[in-house]
Structure 1
Amino acid sequence: MPVFWLADVDKDDVLLVGGKAANLGELLRAEIPVPDGFVVDARTFREFIQKTGIQEKIYSLLQDLDVEDTEKLETVSRQIREIIETTEIPEEIEKEIREAYRKLCEEEGREVYVAVRSSATAEDLPDASFAGQQETYLNVAGEDEVVEKVKKCWS
C-alpha cells in the first residue's frame, strides 16, 4: 500500500516514510493538534521507477558518474528530473494518491489545500543533514496537482 495516514505512522517508520512524516505521526500520538494528512512511502518510489522501466535509465546515467565534476553532476541531475517528471505514474499508485486526497477533502467537506513535501528517509540521522535540499510545495489543491507535485518531489 503506497499511502499511509499520518495517524498510523511513528518514529519506527522513519526508513519507510521519512523523518517529517514520522515526527508528525508522533505529534498526533501525543495528541498535539496536527492537520490530517497522508504520506506516500519510499517503497512506492522504487515501485514507480521499476514498473515504468526508468530505473535502468537512471542507473545508467549514474554509472561511473564523477560526483566531483559539478557540471556533469548538474547535467545528470537535470536529465533524471526530466525522466521522472515525464513518466506516467502507474495507475494503481496514482489511484491511491487520488483517493487519499479525496478522503481528506470529504472529511473537511471541501477541497483542501495541502503541502506536498519530500522527506529523506535518512534525513534526521545524527550524521546526515538534508535540510533545505528538497522541494516543498504549499497550498496545493486538486487531485491532479497533488499527483504532479508528488512526482516533482520524487524528481
Structure 2
Amino acid sequence: MTDLPSVLATWVDKFRPHPDGVDLPPHHEQCLGCGPDNPHGHHLQVRRDGDGVVADHTFDNRHVGAPGIAHGGAVATVIDDLYGFLLYLVGTPAVTRQLTVDYRAPVLIGVPYRMEAHVSSYEGRKLFLTASLTDPEGSLVGTSKAVFVTVGVEHFSRGTQ
C-alpha cells in the first residue's frame, strides 16, 4: 500500500498546470480507479482536454454486474475517479461530497467508452462537476453530476490513524 507521505510528495507535480493533451499522472499507484499497481483496479488513463479531462475506458469481466453488463458501482467508481483528475487542473485537493449517475443505457463489458468531465462552477470550497459517458457510435449512455469540496492536506491523514 502506498503510504501518505509518499503520496503527498508527488502532489507538487500533480496539482500544477498540465499542457493540453497530455496524459495525467495517476492519483497514486494503488488507486482503485487509476492506480497501475492495483490488480483489482480499473487502470484508468486520463488526459487533459482543454478545460476538462477525457478518458477512453473498457470495462472487463472483473466489473460484471448482470451478464455482459458493467456493474453500476464500477461505472460510478470510474466516473468518480475521472472527476479526481479535474482537481489537477483546479490546483487543489478535494473530496467527493455528492455523486449522482444517470444510467441511460447498459454499459457493456468489452466496449470502449469515452468519458469526459468538466468543472461547471465554483461556490466557495464547493466544485460543481459534470461528466458524460458515450459509446463508440457517440450515443450518450450515462451522465453524472458531482459536488466536490476542497480540503487541506490534513484531511488525508485520517486514513493513516
The question of a shared fold, defined as TM-score above 0.5 by the shorter chain, is answered with: no
**More RCO (CA 8 Å, sep 6+):** 1
- Structure with bigger helix share is 1
Please give the TM-score of this superposition, normalised by the length of structure 1.
0.32
Please give the TM-score of this superposition, normalised by the length of structure 2.
0.31
- Structure with bigger strand share is 2
